[in-house]
Amino acid sequence: MKVRAIRGATQLLSDDKVELESAVCEMVSLIIEKNGLKIEDLISIFFTSTPDLVCDFPAAAARKLELGKIPLICSVEIAVPGSLPRAVRAMVHAYSPLDHTEISHIYLRGAESLRKDLAQ
């Protein structure tokens, strides 16, 4: 089994804890589903959020998916002028038999514009 890094991103309409939880859980769930993963395949998840999101930690939202034993950490994304606002990004590290070219990176809710080359 190979170790793979899987990207994901989502955009919120507002800095709202309920919306953050919904968006993060949707993104992480789709990363797991679309890549044929199980919770035990996960190694860690690194989240970043833009500086305009302060309502909660993306990792706290992801814990709603029973990821309590998976190491999760958050950081603030660099505040580049003109960049996509209210965005949460994820880098999921997991064991997978998939090749790099077979990995499905998940971009949702307007975040598709971040990586048009990878967005589904």
**Does residue 119 sit within a domain?**
no
The confidence band for 1, taking pLDDT boundaries of 50, 70 and 90, is: confident
Structure tokens of 77? Answer: 């994304």
pLDDT of residue 116: 55
Q: Is residue 97 part of a domain?
A: yes
Is 120 a member of any domain? Answer: no
pLDDT for 115 equals 59
pLDDT value for 119: 47
DSSP string, 15-42: S-HHHHHHHHHHHHHHHHHHTT--GGGE
Give the rounded percent of residues in the chain with a pLDDT score beyond 70. 94
Answer whether residue 70 is part of any domain.
yes
> Which tokens sit at 59?
């990792």
- 54: domain range? 2-113
HSE of 79, CA atoms in CB hemisphere, 13 A:
3
What is this structure's pTM? 0.90
* Displacement of CA 53 from its chain's centroid (Å): 15
Which segments of the chain does DSSP mark as H helices, in order? Answer: 17-34, 58-62
User: Could you tell me if residue 6 is inside a domain?
Assistant: yes
Q: Measured in whole angstroms, how far is the alpha carbon of residue 24 from the centre of its chain? A: 6
105: CATH = 3.30.1330.40
Q: Is residue 34 part of a domain?
A: yes
Q: What is the domain count for the chain? A: 1
Q: In this predicted model, what pLDDT tens digit does every residue of 75-101 receive, in sequence order? A: 999 988 988 899 999 999 999 999 988
Identify whether 118 is part of a domain.
no
CA distance 13 to 16: 8
Is residue 98 domain-resident?
Answer: yes
59 — pLDDT class (breaks 50, 70, 90): very high
